[in-house]
Structure formats: structure tokens, C-alpha cells
Amino acid sequence: MTGVRTRGAVLFDFGGVLTTSVVAAFEELGRELADEPRLLLRVLAKDEEGGALLVAHEEGRIGEREFEDGLAVRLRAHGATVEGPGLVRRLQARLRPDPAMIALVARVRAGGYRAGLLSNSLGDDCYAGFDLPAMFDAVTVSREIGVRKPSRRAYALACEHLGVRPQDTVMVDDLPQNIAAAERLGIAGVVHRDAATTTAELARLLGPTAHL
């Protein structure tokens, strides 16, 4: 959380902010696949080929099935016996909406602030069940813009879509590295851990008249 000037717009991440923890979902699936909670996170973050697959998928250069098949190959290289089809759906099944955060988005807009989504997409239908155009003033998804967080261009485009300047904006994200990248563009950041703490930190950044 940084910044002392008040802001007038908020960008929200999706997975891990409007839903339950993505990290916990990866860990749960890792335990199911190979009794190794950190397996998927390690393959996607530390394995060069696994990381390249994730970037290509989130930027829209490969679809869900190609990503799954490639990920299965890398998981097998790390000792897990797994097939690709259904891996993304199995992960998504472990993510549940966070009603408190969804309500916070509505309160932000009701308070006269602009609210946007900036999300790295995972899966061809990862936003099923969410009416994003109704929830937000603007929706920016990595596969549609061809660039992902923590790229500066992703944040710049999200602000452009929302019609605001970075220096007038707050980003709410569960990954500290994504907040650090946003701050380099002048966006204030809130590292999301739970709805109550995020609400309090966001109210401070939006100013003394904010009632969230």
C-alpha cells in the first residue's frame, strides 16, 4: 500500500481478488496430482518451458487445450503422471467467488469512483458466472490486449480503457510483484489479503470522503 494523494479510480485483479486464493487452488491441485502442493507453482514459475507456456496462454497466443497439453508434458518431466485435458477446469473448480470483494466493487462504483478489471486470463472461459460488463466501467483482459501483468503496457491500457490517468488510480492485486509494477507507472497499490483489510486501505487512498 503506497501513496498519499487521493485517487478517483480503482483497478481490480480477478483471480485471488474477486475469487478465493489462486495460490491455494494451485496447491490443492498439486496435492491431488502428485501429493506435492508446490508442484504446479514451481513448474509455472521456475521451469523455463512451463513459464513460457503460461505467458503464451495469458497473452492469447495459445488456447486452453494447447496450454494444458504443454503443461502436462512439463509436469511429467517433474515426475507427475498426468494428462492435459481438463487441467484448467480442475483448477477453476477450486476457485470460488468472494462475495465481500464483489460487494466492494459495487460500493466503489456507488461512491462515484470508476472501477475497472485488469486480469491475466487463464483458460478460455475463466470468467464464467461473472457479468463483468455489468460489474465494471471497463474490462481489460490479457488475452484480448496481447500483453499481461506485470507489463507496463497492461496497466497503461487498463487506465486508458477506464478513461483515467495512472496517477489517479489504485490497483488491487493479490501478487506483490504486480503491485510493484503498477507503482512504477504511478498507480497506487493495495496487496489484497482479505476483504476487510483491502476495504480499509482502499478507503484511505480514495480519500476522506470515501465511504466503503
Query: Tens digit of pLDDT for each residue in 182-206?
Result: 999 999 999 999 999 999 999 999 9
Which three-class secondary structure state does DSSP give residue 83? Answer: coil
- Angle CA(173)–CA(136)–CA(199) in degrees, nearest 5? 45
Overall number of domains in the chain:
2
Domain boundary, last residue among 51, 71, 92: 92
Judge if 104 and 13 occupy the same domain: yes
pLDDT of amino acid 209: 72
Are 180 and 104 part of one and the same domain? yes
Same domain, 107 and 173: yes
Give the mean model confidence (pLDDT) for residues 57-75: 97
Cα 193-10-203 angle, rounded to 5 deg: 65
| Residue 172 lies in domain | 9-20+96-206
For the cut 50, the answer to whether the pLDDT of residue 3 exceeds it is: no
pTM score, whole prediction: 0.94
- So what's the pLDDT on residue 102? 98
Tell me if 181 is assigned to some domain: yes
